[in-house]
Chains A and B, each alone.
Chain A
Amino acid sequence: MNKIFKGRDPILLLIVGAIFVIALFSLYSASHCPGSSAVKNFSMQQIVWFGLAAIISIMFIALGYEKWLDYSYVIFGLNLFLLVLVLLVGNTHLGAKRWLSLGLFSLQPSEFCKISFILVFARFLSDNSGRLDSFKTILLSLLLCMVPFLLILKQPDLGTALVFLPIFFVMIFVAGAKIKHLIILVLTGSAALPFMWSMLKVYQRKRLLVFLNPNIDPLGAGYTIIQSKIAVGSGGLFGKGWLSGTQNQLNFLPERHTDFIFSVIGEEWGFAGSVILLGLFLLLVKQLLYIANTTNDQSGKLLITGIITLIWFQVFVNIAMTIGLMPVVGLPLPLVSYGGSNLMTIMVLISLAISVNAKRKIF
């Protein structure tokens, strides 16, 4: 075991631990609501998830990322099959089909598709590294990305679907695709926007319109944005203190333990707390970048690029939507938002990065 965690890994684990501790405090505060007694304690629940995720992560590290890359096509294929299955027989929750019920627990295949896509795409790009200057390869890789993207959009889960786009672009960019080709993709993509618009559900369109002008729906989606902005803004420099956020405690904020957990942090810990959390995420990214830079294995580099992009995109979009800079698309804050599937995904991805670091040859 000692050999597995070497070099700078302890720092990586320390950062993850610190972020998770912040998460526990915020989740406790979000579920703490004076007056109403029957509230779930989200932080206890989340610790259980964390334990489960840790066990699975150790399995991933022990197997080694190369094994996962070897089987990535099979895993990806299976995952796509599950996505189709979800559309056919999945449980409908809040109007969207995202969950597969497996008796004791339910599974969210779109979450795990983030992992399997990063794996398969890293493998694909390193297998085809010599042919990346041909537009045909670019189109082939686009196909690889569009299949899960459209399946997840159909559920509908706009937030999760959107994650695939930056991962695709950053990974293919780092792999060495021609800038010209990428620009063509972006331009055709924008031409296809009206088509995408027609695929969105009514409530998703509403959210996008509300982003442009929250006042068109002050009772629904716009209400959340306005309240969340007030929560974060009223936090001030040092915040109102733990368990003292009025917006939070008075039940003004819907979904505050999941997608809007940052508004709890912003209100109770202020600008100082927000910057510390952002700093921790930046350190996390920096550690991952260090591993990517020092490893010699091309697929490992690409794998970590995908992981970094995913974490960065979720952090950025989540915080930006909390303060009204981005539309509410329903993306959780990595390691902080309540929920097992998302925590599991991030932990597994970080353990894959640790595995890359462990296998790197030091000269």
Chain B
Amino acid sequence: MFNQRIRIVSAAILASFLVLIGALFYFQVIRSAYYRSLSLRNSLRVIPVQASRGGIYDRTGKVFAKDEISFDLVIIPQEVSDIDITLKRLSEITGIKVKKLKKNYKRNYRLPFVPATIAGNLKAEEAFSIEERLTGVGGALICATPRRIYPNNEIASHVIGYIGKIAPTELKKLKAYGYSIKDLVGKSGVEKYYDGYLQGEDGGIQIEVDSRSREVSRLGFKEPRGGKNITLTIDLGLQRFMSMLFENKNGALIVMEAKTGKILGLVSSPEFDPNIFNIGTNRERAKILTDKDLPLLNRAIACSYPPGSTFKVIVSAAGIATGAVKKTTTFMCKGIFFLGKRGFKCWKRSGHGYQNIVDALAHSCNVFFYNLGKVLGAEELHRYALSFGLGAITGIDLPSEIKGVAPGPLWKRFVIKKPWYEGDTINYSIGQGYLLVTPIQMLRVITIVANEGYCPQPYIVEEIEGRRLSRKRDFTTRFRHGTFKLIKEGLFNVVNSPTGSGQRVKVKDLEISGKTGTSQPGTKGDSHAWFTGYMPSDDPKISFVVFIEHGGSGGVEAAKMTRLLATYLKENGFVDSDE
């Protein structure tokens, strides 16, 4: 049995070796002449055909980013016998200095048979006239390659992002997925988050040429496959208007459909022109990268700040939900609150007098919330901050979102390595101290109030090549029915009561609710101005957050900006009822 079966195996091995020898005989003896001719120097040429990247469009189909054909003059190194002579000839033809051509050649050289660009981004007419005069210059040709353009320049730059050459560390990670060193990849925004969809697949032609570099036969062709087109929820007109509001100001502004989570506009200011990263000069790039205002930073999602009085919405919900306050509960505001010997001021020196929760929200009375915060305690404040989604990312489909800090006694012990003092609780109750939030987190907080308990997953991308994406679940937080009634009344009065802190928001024929906030930054400088809100008040369609970095008072600067925004939204039909 044993030896008999081994004999079968050895026969099979012998047969397989004979097959190999037969195949080698075919390749190396019968077809040898053919392969020898192919192997002769210069006979094989690979011309890469770059795939175009998918376009990015606004919700009505207006272009945010797309690829356009650009023409490059390239050299195939192995076909050039004397590079200096060739470059000199090309300099005469193109009118570009030899030194510059040489510099480009050295920079773009990769392998002998891979075309190296020596003059990029030529105009079409220019390219055609150069091509006509190229005959007789061996190894040089005009290549058409797609190039990314952003027609709206800096508009929506933080949503769209920009692209650049893949970094060596990224390449290591992505190589298994078919990326190569020369690929352009998304570096931020939708360009990065959805890179896998936008990225096309490069093609190429492999041809056999004779000694004068004329094509003899085509050995292989792979058609490039373009990337997928992406449609955003962003409205270009609104986005442009929102950018305008931020002229000479830093900050962030987000407008969302309260019931669906569609982001209609998202601005982070200052903005940058993404075109600079593919067709700009090094100096322009350096300017963006070294700007002390950090234009590449997306302040709406990747930067956290103290929320100030906008946090009082959460403290109110905690007070009502735990039963600590009812409509009739009042605290006396004399303009200052004492914890032992230490005094905590209200913004109104003369005091607000007796305040119930509705008044306290409308007037943004600090003393009321100091008292309420003290009654609730730090643990409860921490618990409700978490239940409104602070300290956790919203999961919006943009890269580098951060989660901020929702502090509590245990957190302080571990991170700051100090015990929690009652003074911390007092600061906590007006949104100061260790608490740090991103503007989009505050958008979620106000949307939860608008929808009375839930906030849909905010998102930017509506469709990819005509197909809708499945969404993650909404963010819900359980409260007893009616919890939000008093809060909504308070937020309505912020804008509409004659003593409200946000009267400047008021717009004719549109009811707006919201909360002002003026928070002290951790560093030096003016206070940050906030306004978070929703409209129309009785059936919220739009929720929004306005944040102006070092913008002064929330009731003044942020409220003014909100009024302009609300007017635009009303005039352009964003708040019309569905019927």
Q: Are A236 and B204 in contact (CB under 8 A)?
A: no
> Does chain A have a CB within 8 A of B219?
yes
- A203 vs B40: C-alpha distance when bound (angstroms): 31
- A335 vs B205: C-alpha distance when bound (angstroms): 37
Minimum CB–CB distance from A199 to chain B (whole Å) comes to 14
Q: Are A94 and B175 in contact (CB under 8 A)?
A: yes
Q: Are B36 and A234 in contact (CB under 8 A)?
A: yes
> Does chain B have a CB within 8 A of A176?
yes
Asked, given contacts A203-B177, A215-B222, A218-B46, whether A271 binds B2 with beta carbons under 8 Å apart, the answer is no
> Does chain A have a CB within 8 A of B3?
yes
- A209 vs B10: C-alpha distance when bound (angstroms): 32
Q: Are B25 and A271 in contact (CB under 8 A)?
A: yes
- A271 vs B175: C-alpha distance when bound (angstroms): 36
Q: Are B41 and A246 in contact (CB under 8 A)?
A: yes
- The 8 Å CB contact of A325, one of B23, B41, B113, B205, is B23
- A281 vs B482: C-alpha distance when bound (angstroms): 85
- Please indicate the chain B residues that have their CB under 8 angstroms from the CB of A320 in the complex: 20, 23
Which residues of B1-37 have CB atoms within 8 Å of chain A's CB atoms?
1-3, 5-6, 9-10, 13-14, 16-17, 20-21, 23-25, 27-29, 31-32, 34-36
- Please indicate the chain A residues that have their CB under 8 angstroms from the CB of B172 in the complex: 92, 95
Q: Are A234 and B32 in contact (CB under 8 A)?
A: yes
Q: Are A234 and B221 in contact (CB under 8 A)?
A: no
Which residues of B160-174 have CB atoms within 8 Å of chain A's CB atoms?
172-173
- The 8 Å CB contact of B3, one of A203, A274, A293, is A293
Asked, given contacts A218-B46, A218-B205, whether A293 binds B6 with beta carbons under 8 Å apart, the answer is yes
Q: How many chain A residues touch B (Cβ–Cβ < 8 Å)? A: 61
Q: Are A230 and B38 in contact (CB under 8 A)?
A: yes
Which residues of A195-244 have CB atoms within 8 Å of chain B's CB atoms?
201-203, 206, 214-220, 222-223, 226, 229-237
Which residues of A303-332 have CB atoms within 8 Å of chain B's CB atoms?
305, 308-309, 312, 316, 319-320, 323, 325
> Does chain A have a CB within 8 A of B206?
yes
Q: Are A215 and B38 in contact (CB under 8 A)?
A: no
- The 8 Å CB contact of A218, one of B2, B173, B222, is B222
Q: Are A312 and B178 in contact (CB under 8 A)?
A: no
- A267 vs B1: C-alpha distance when bound (angstroms): 43
Minimum CB–CB distance from A329 to chain B (whole Å) comes to 15
- Please indicate the chain A residues that have their CB under 8 angstroms from the CB of B5 in the complex: 173-174, 176
Q: Are A316 and B20 in contact (CB under 8 A)?
A: yes
> Does chain A have a CB within 8 A of B111?
yes
**A85-106 interface mask toward B, CB cutoff 8 Å, 1 = contact, 0 = none?**
0000000101110000000000
- Please indicate the chain A residues that have their CB under 8 angstroms from the CB of B46 in the complex: 218-219, 223
Which residues of A246-285 have CB atoms within 8 Å of chain B's CB atoms?
246-247, 250-252, 266-267, 270-271, 274-275, 278, 281-282, 285
- A286 vs B13: C-alpha distance when bound (angstroms): 10
- A218 vs B218: C-alpha distance when bound (angstroms): 11
- Please indicate the chain A residues that have their CB under 8 angstroms from the CB of B13 in the complex: 282, 285, 308, 312
Minimum CB–CB distance from A247 to chain B (whole Å) comes to 5
- Please indicate the chain B residues that have their CB under 8 angstroms from the CB of A226 in the complex: 206, 219-220
> Does chain A have a CB within 8 A of B416?
no
> Does chain A have a CB within 8 A of B112?
yes
Which residues of B216-250 have CB atoms within 8 Å of chain A's CB atoms?
219-222
Closest to B20 in A: A319
Closest to A289 in B: B10
> Does chain B have a CB within 8 A of A152?
no
Minimum CB–CB distance from A6 to chain B (whole Å) comes to 22
Q: Are A237 and B28 in contact (CB under 8 A)?
A: yes
Closest to A35 in B: B112
> Does chain B have a CB within 8 A of A114?
no
- A246 vs B41: C-alpha distance when bound (angstroms): 8
> Does chain B have a CB within 8 A of A58?
no
- The 8 Å CB contact of B28, one of A232, A298, A308, is A232
Minimum CB–CB distance from A59 to chain B (whole Å) comes to 28
> Does chain B have a CB within 8 A of A301?
yes
Q: Which of B13, B25, B38, B220 has the most A CB atoms < 10 Å from its CB?
A: B13
Asked, given contacts A218-B205, A226-B220, A247-B39, whether A292 binds B6 with beta carbons under 8 Å apart, the answer is yes
**A154-187 interface mask toward B, CB cutoff 8 Å, 1 = contact, 0 = none?**
0000000000000000100110100000000000
- Please indicate the chain B residues that have their CB under 8 angstroms from the CB of A274 in the complex: 21, 24, 28
Q: Are A301 and B220 in contact (CB under 8 A)?
A: no
- A31 vs B408: C-alpha distance when bound (angstroms): 63
- Please indicate the chain A residues that have their CB under 8 angstroms from the CB of B177 in the complex: 95, 202-203
Q: Are B29 and A219 in contact (CB under 8 A)?
A: no
- A229 vs B44: C-alpha distance when bound (angstroms): 13
Closest to A304 in B: B6
Which residues of B107-152 have CB atoms within 8 Å of chain A's CB atoms?
111-113
Q: Are A323 and B27 in contact (CB under 8 A)?
A: yes
- Please indicate the chain A residues that have their CB under 8 angstroms from the CB of B202 in the complex: 219
- Please indicate the chain A residues that have their CB under 8 angstroms from the CB of B31 in the complex: 233
Q: Are B221 and A229 in contact (CB under 8 A)?
A: no
- A173 vs B34: C-alpha distance when bound (angstroms): 43
- Please indicate the chain B residues that have their CB under 8 angstroms from the CB of A289 in the complex: 6, 10
Asked, given contacts A203-B176, A275-B21, A320-B20, whether A266 binds B206 with beta carbons under 8 Å apart, the answer is no
Minimum CB–CB distance from A163 to chain B (whole Å) comes to 15
Minimum CB–CB distance from A266 to chain B (whole Å) comes to 7
Q: Which of B9, B25, B112, B113 has the most A CB atoms < 10 Å from its CB?
A: B9
- Please indicate the chain A residues that have their CB under 8 angstroms from the CB of B25 in the complex: 271
Closest to A235 in B: B28
- The 8 Å CB contact of A219, one of B20, B24, B36, B48, is B48
Minimum CB–CB distance from B45 to chain A (whole Å) comes to 11
Q: Are A218 and B220 in contact (CB under 8 A)?
A: yes
- A274 vs B21: C-alpha distance when bound (angstroms): 8
Asked, given contacts A222-B220, A230-B38, A233-B31, whether A95 binds B6 with beta carbons under 8 Å apart, the answer is no
Minimum CB–CB distance from B452 to chain A (whole Å) comes to 44
- Please indicate the chain B residues that have their CB under 8 angstroms from the CB of A223 in the complex: 46, 206
Sample of 11 A–B contacts (CB below 8 Å): A95-B172, A176-B5, A229-B35, A232-B35, A234-B36, A235-B28, A237-B28, A246-B40, A251-B112, A270-B28, A309-B9
Q: Apart from A219-B204, A252-B113, what 12 extra A-B contacts exist at CB < 8 Å?
A: A202-B178, A218-B206, A218-B220, A218-B221, A267-B39, A278-B17, A278-B20, A282-B17, A293-B3, A309-B9, A319-B24, A323-B23
Q: Which 5 A-B residue pairs are closest in the complex by CB-CB distance?
A: A95-B176, A233-B35, A218-B220, A234-B39, A215-B220
